[in-house]
Amino acid sequence: MEIIIGREPEDLQLPEAMGSLEELENIVRRAVEITGPLYDVENSEVSVTLTNDEHIHSLNREYRGLDRPTDVLSFAFVDSEEPEIEDGPETEVLGDIIISLERAWAQAQEYGHSMERELSFLTVHGMLHLLGYDHMEEEERMEMEEEQRYIMGKLGISRDGKGMVLPLAQEAQVTRSKGKEIKLAELPSEPKLQIDPKTHKSGFVAVIGRPNVGKSTLINSLIGQKIAIMSDKPQTTRTRIMCVLTQQDAQMVFLDTPGIHKPKHKLGEYMVRAAEGTLKEVDAIIFVVDATEKFGPGEQYILERLQATERPVILAINKLDLLEDKEQLLPIITGYNGRYNFAATVPISAKEENNLDGLLAEIKKHLPKGPQYYPEDMVTDQPERLIVAELIREKALLQTREEIPHAIAVDIEEMKPRDNGDMYVRATIYVERDSQKGIVIGKRGALLKEIGAQARADIQMLLGCKVFLDLWVKVKKDWRNRDNILKDFGFQD
C-alpha cells in the first residue's frame, strides 16, 4: 500500500511530551498498513497530513462551514475535483486524511490514554470514512464503531475502564463472527490487596477551591478514571461527588465539591452550601488554587471559612504547566502561607499529572488509621445514570461554548439494556429559553448530533457496551431559580 505522509506546515512544531514527528508518523503508517488489507485496498494510495489546530480549523471553515478545529478530516477521492488519469498507474487513490496532532494530544490527555492509541484511532476513523463508512445515522454509526473496535484489536491497542493502554490479549478476548462480537474469555480479576490493619489508613478528603481551578481534573487524575466532568467554564461541578482511591497502605475518599463562589441564583446557593457543608465531615482538606491567578476576594473568602475548621488543610498550587517561569512559584507559596497555617504546600499540575504522588504522600500523613470503607474496585458513589447525565452535560457545555454557559441540565428519563446486549438511553437536555433550545439543536440538528456522538463515546467506555443514545431538548423557564425543579434534578440539601 502506498502511504504518503506529509506535514502542514512543513516546519510543524510539537511539544516534547508528544514525541517526535517520526514516531507519530510511524504510528499513522502502521494503522493504515493494518487497515488496508482488511478491506482489500492494499493496492491503494492514501495521503495523510499531520497538522495543527490552526490549519485544520481553516479547512473546516472552507469545506464544512464549521468555525472550529476538529481532530480528523477525510476527503475521499470520489469527492475530489481532481480528474482521473486514464493512463496512470493501477494504484487506486482512496483519498486524503488530515489529523490535528494538537487535538489528538488534548484528547489523549482528557481521556487518560496514550498518544499512540488516540492517533491510531483517528487514523482508523479517517480510513473508514475513505472506505465509505459514515456516522450521520444511528445504524451507520454503530456499524462504523464496530469496525473501529475490530481494527484497533488488530492493532493490538485497546483501553480498559481506567484509561490505561493494554495489549488486547490482556483484556476480554473478542473475535468477530458475521459482523457480531462474541466474548470468549473475561478478563481475570486482579488479586485482592493484602492490607495490614495495624498500619492501614483511611479517611475522607474534601477538595475545595474557587470555580475553574482544576478540582475535577485533579480528582480524575488521582483515581485514574474520568468520573467528574471537566470544562474550562467555571461552576461545572454542581453536586458533591465522592471518588475512592484504594492503595496498599491507604484508602482515600475524595469529595469533589462545587467551586465556592458568590451565588447568583438558587442553584448557586445550593452549590455553595454543598461545598461548605463538606468541610465539617472530612479528615483533611485540599485547597486547590490556580498558579496563574492572583490572590483575590474569592481566595480570601475560602480562607475565612477554613479558619473555622480544625481539619488539616493542604494547599495544592495547580496549573504549574502554565507558568512561563518557575521562579514565579516562590512568591505564590510565600503569599498563601503568610495568610494561613497550611499543613503542607504542594505545587502540582493535575492535567500533566505532575507531583501527584507528593500530594498523596502529604494526604496520608493526616489520615487516621482505619479499615477500607469501600470495596477496592469501587471508584465512586455516583449511580451510572447520574454519571451518564453528567457526560452528556459536559459535551453540551463543550459544544455550545459561551452561548449557554450554565443554563443546561440533563435528565436521564430511561436507561435499560436491550435483548442484544446494547444499552438504550433516553435523555433530555433542559435549557431556560427557547433561543437556547435552538442553539443546542443547531442547524438541521447538527450540533445535537455532535453532542450525542461525543457523549456516546464516553458512555460506551463507561458501560462497556454499545449505547443507543436518544437525545431531546426541552425548555424549563428559569429552572435554576425554582426549588421544585431543582429537587427534580437532584439538587437537594
Contacts of residue 445, defined as CB under 8 A and 6 or more positions apart, other chains included, come to none
For the annotated binding site for GTP, the residues are 209-216, 256-260, 318-321
Nearest to 345 by CA among 308, 331, 297, 353: 331
Q: What is the dihedral of CA 224, 227, 233, 238, to 10 degrees?
A: -140
Residue ranges for the known binding site are 125, 129, 135, 209-216, 256-260, 318-321
| Angstrom distance (rounded) from CA 379 to CA 367 | 19
C-alpha cell at 136: 450521520
List residues bridging with 429 in a β-sheet.
410, 473
Residue ranges for the known binding site for Zn(2+) are 125, 129, 135
The three cell numbers locating residue 315: 494547599
CA–CA distance from 319 to each of 105, 340, 457 (Å)?
Answer: 17, 21, 28
Residue 219 contacts by C-beta under 8 Å, 6 or more apart in sequence?
A: 207, 227, 228, 241, 243, 254, 256
Q: Are 138 and 127 in contact (CB under 8 A)?
A: no
